[in-house]
Structure 1
Amino acid sequence: MSHLYIHIPFCHSKCPYCDFFSVATKKWHSEFVQALCGEVVMRHGEISGALKTIYFGGGTPSLLSEQDLERIISEIRKNFSIESDAEITLEANPDDITPEKLYFWQSVGVNRLSIGIQSLNDEELKFLGRRHNAARSRTALYDAIEAGFDNISVDLIHGVPGSDPENTFKAIEEFSQNGVKHLSMYSLTIEKGTILENRIRKGILNNTDEDFQASVYEKAVEKAEEFGFKQYEISNSCVPGFESQHNSAYWKGAPYLGLGPSAHSFDGKSRRWNVADIQQYINGINDQKPVYESEILSKTDKYNEFLLTRLRLIHGIDFFEMEQLFGKQSVENIIHEIEKLNSPQYFHTTEKSLALTRSGLLFADRIISELMK
């Protein structure tokens, strides 16, 4: 069982809060697709077994032309075996979604959509620099359901400065009533080097408030559960049975192959990431000299990544798995480290597992950092 990530680096415009690698240009599309197909051929032997998931992320995969997407998927099918029930996800912006595109995506095998709605409030969307409005999001969601997509995830950003938390809670309720099966809910994060960070630093926009965001996060997760979305990871909740298989593979330490500029790969022993520059990426593939960096993970690296990924999950760390990977002493050590933190309200511990409580999840980054070697 294997997993494939495809990074599509193009956007209509750069969202002010986004720090993922992307370029807002109409140039290089055909050259990129040719290079990406070349990388598919070049690296298909790096993973074994049939693909269980394929994930088109970005950037904005939904802006690809039908011809370009069909060519990419065709090349993937030529070079990889794909399980008959594979989860094939395409990230899409509401303003790209049309009935025609939806039927085409289905025809080439896409069976899961991740729609970047972010908010159903126009003022919040304006703050976030989104191109679409709430009405366009509702139309896109309706069209996706009508087209027959029954596995739809929606991105929702909360904690926007000056926003009313009720906007988030009402959006969750509306999504539950309109066929959405999965929610990815994120507190607005101010990333260094982004347009949003620059505007806040100059005093053009207000900064976020951590206490406000924490309060909204807890209530949003509770509201989601009230409407049938069960939390299974820090930022993700779903109708049971509709967990993201692809992202779950990351959090469970499964190997995966990442293709496209800035894409990461993991084989269980080492990590590799492609150059985050579209021209260097294209030239490197065309010259049969791909530009990338890599690292072999030490035992300490593997242990720290185990904590980082498993403690994101609601069920947390399975002590049997931990013992198999790092030895019996590792279980005793982490229990001791937790006792030293003297914060029992953040942990749920049994004889078989260790997980963060909901209040612990609010401070997951700090807690996990303190537990790392």
Structure 2
Amino acid sequence: MSGIYIHIPFCKQACHYCDFHFSISMKKKDEMVLALAKEIELRKNEFKDEVVETIYFGGGTPSVLQISDLRLLIDAIYKNYIVSENPEITLEANPDDLHLDFARCDNESELSVRAESRTIFEEYRSIGINRLSIGIQSFFEDDLKMMNRAHNSEEAKKCLEIATKYFDNISLDLIYGIPRMSDERWKQNIETALSFGVPHISSYALTVEPKTALNKLIQTGKIAEPKDEVASAHFMILMETLEANGFLHYELSNFGKPDYFSKNNSAYWLGKKYIGIGPSAHSYDGISRSWNIANNTLYLKAIKENRLPNEIEILSVSDRYNEYIMTGLRTIWGVSLERIQSEFGQNYLDYLLKQAQKFLSDDLLFIENNILRPTKKGKFLTDGIASDLFYLIWNRSNHQEHKEEL
């Protein structure tokens, strides 16, 4: 199983918390779509022996593209790759792009005179998109304004009301740990999401990244800093509420009903191969990682010259071990001690068990059927625990941490 991720580097406006690569100027959108299609073609030999089973439009905001743009990119994949009979094709979308009763035409002025108007959801389905990931974040107006989201609460509810009539495979995003968000208010957010019957919810703690507007607003005292204890309490409420409603907590930030796990994201966490198309997109082939330059102008220039504007890192054994620890602990599948021994060797297994001992004693990790997993108590601390299990050597000569082979 392999996947293709396409990064759409455009947004209507910048959310205060976001540090992803995007531009709020649409001037180069058409040129970018053509460049993305060209990169898809340039990289076809990387997957000549692979079957593509997932296609994922991320960003940025992919829903700012026209139907014709999305169709062009999907067609480019089918033309240049072997695609499975029924691939999962996901589109990340914002509510303000989805609440309209009719589809956005290539020319907005043509909307009222179309011979056969269809909803945007029918248009998406007609080009093969079969899964939507909708960025709700909150159903409360003041939260959305604080985060500088482009939609309002009414649009969030309206788009879900319509979307669920056309798609059964829908995921929505929620953010917890928002300053001044009480436990009761967070529960209301979750209950509102559940009322639409969506089978998948992704939820993330509000984090303060450097060089974001949120960081500046906190430094100037205009917004209170998120508190870890609030985020931890919200996370526990999230787990308990969703699990009580039939969701499986299959990845740290992801909850799905049976048969509705994200195939695309699950492939990442299970170490499958994928190609990332577009500025800032990452790729993985099992041996190395590569990433495209996070600059639209330089990306367009390189693709025009038939060059791939990326950097490549060959992964060492320690790199692969560390990545498996990180992804394994975050998922329902855990870390297989048998795989650690067979793939990385006895020394890595001994090291892992030694490092894990304190977390096992503190009831933050447990071992069952030779699988290492976080306990319910340990889940919120997973990333920190994983970092303590990484293989790192302190190089005293240059006072830098670096990875070495065991």
Per the shorter chain, which TM-score range?
over 0.9
**1:1-373 matched pairs, under 5 angstroms:** 1-47=1-47, 48-97=49-98, 98=100, 99=102, 100-146=119-165, 148-340=166-358, 343-373=361-391
% same residue: 40
Amino acid at match of 1:20: F
> Deviation digits for residues 173-220 of structure 1, max 9, x if unmatched?
232232201010111001111111111111111111111111111111
CA 1:342 to 1:71, structure 2 compared with 1: closer, same or farther past 3 Å? closer
Does structure 2 retain, via aligned residues, the 8 Å contact 1:5–1:258?
yes
Measure the CA separation in 1 of the matches of 2:186 and 2:246.
Answer: 16
Does structure 2 retain, via aligned residues, the 8 Å contact 1:229–1:237?
yes
CA 1:343 to 1:136, structure 2 compared with 1: closer, same or farther past 3 Å? same
Measure the CA separation in 1 of the matches of 2:51 and 2:120.
Answer: 27
Deviation at 1:351, TM superposition (A): 4.1
Does structure 1 retain, via aligned residues, the 8 Å contact 2:130–2:169?
yes
* More moved, 303-312 vs 327-336: 327-336
Measure the CA separation in 2 of the matches of 1:314 and 1:2.
Answer: 20
TM-score by length of 1: 0.97
Amino acid at match of 2:143: E
> Deviation digits for residues 260-309 of structure 1, max 9, x if unmatched?
00000000000000000001001100011222111101111111111111
Does structure 2 retain, via aligned residues, the 8 Å contact 1:173–1:224?
no
* More moved, 220-229 vs 275-284: 220-229
Measure the CA separation in 2 of the matches of 1:351 and 1:60.
Answer: 42
* More moved, 42-51 vs 10-19: 42-51
Does structure 1 retain, via aligned residues, the 8 Å contact 2:92–2:134?
yes
CA 1:328 to 1:195, structure 2 compared with 1: closer, same or farther past 3 Å? same
Measure the CA separation in 1 of the matches of 2:279 and 2:195.
Answer: 38
Q: Which residue of 1 aligns with 2:107?
A: none
Amino acid at match of 1:62: S
* More moved, 339-348 vs 314-323: 339-348
Amino acid at match of 1:56: F
Measure the CA separation in 1 of the matches of 2:4 and 2:302.
Answer: 20
Deviation at 1:364, TM superposition (A): 1.5
Give ranges in structure 2 of 5+ residues lacking alignment: 103-118, 392-406
Three-state SS of the structure 2 residue aligned to 1:358 is coil
Measure the CA separation in 2 of the matches of 1:320 and 1:339.
Answer: 17
Does structure 1 retain, via aligned residues, the 8 Å contact 2:360–2:366?
no
Does structure 1 retain, via aligned residues, the 8 Å contact 2:183–2:233?
no
* More moved, 330-339 vs 38-47: 330-339
Q: CA RMSD in A?
A: 1.3
Three-state SS of the structure 1 residue aligned to 2:377 is helix
Deviation at 1:235, TM superposition (A): 0.7
Three-state SS of the structure 2 residue aligned to 1:120 is coil
Alignment size in residue pairs: 372
Deviation at 1:131, TM superposition (A): 1.6
Measure the CA separation in 2 of the matches of 1:200 and 1:175.
Answer: 28
* More moved, 329-338 vs 360-369: 329-338
Measure the CA separation in 2 of the matches of 1:178 and 1:85.
Answer: 26
Three-state SS of the structure 2 residue aligned to 1:110 is coil
Measure the CA separation in 2 of the matches of 1:131 and 1:279.
Answer: 25
Measure the CA separation in 2 of the matches of 1:366 and 1:185.
Answer: 18
CA 1:7 to 1:327, structure 2 compared with 1: closer, same or farther past 3 Å? same
Amino acid at match of 1:129: N
Three-state SS of the structure 2 residue aligned to 1:284 is helix
> Deviation digits for residues 123-168 of structure 1, max 9, x if unmatched?
111111112111111110111112x201000000011101122232
Deviation at 1:221, TM superposition (A): 1.2
Does structure 1 retain, via aligned residues, the 8 Å contact 2:2–2:51?
yes
Amino acid at match of 1:106: R
Measure the CA separation in 1 of the matches of 2:196 and 2:179.
Answer: 27
TM-score by length of 2: 0.89
* More moved, 336-345 vs 208-217: 336-345
Does structure 2 retain, via aligned residues, the 8 Å contact 1:173–1:227?
no
Measure the CA separation in 2 of the matches of 1:216 and 1:142.
Answer: 26
* More moved, 41-50 vs 169-178: 169-178
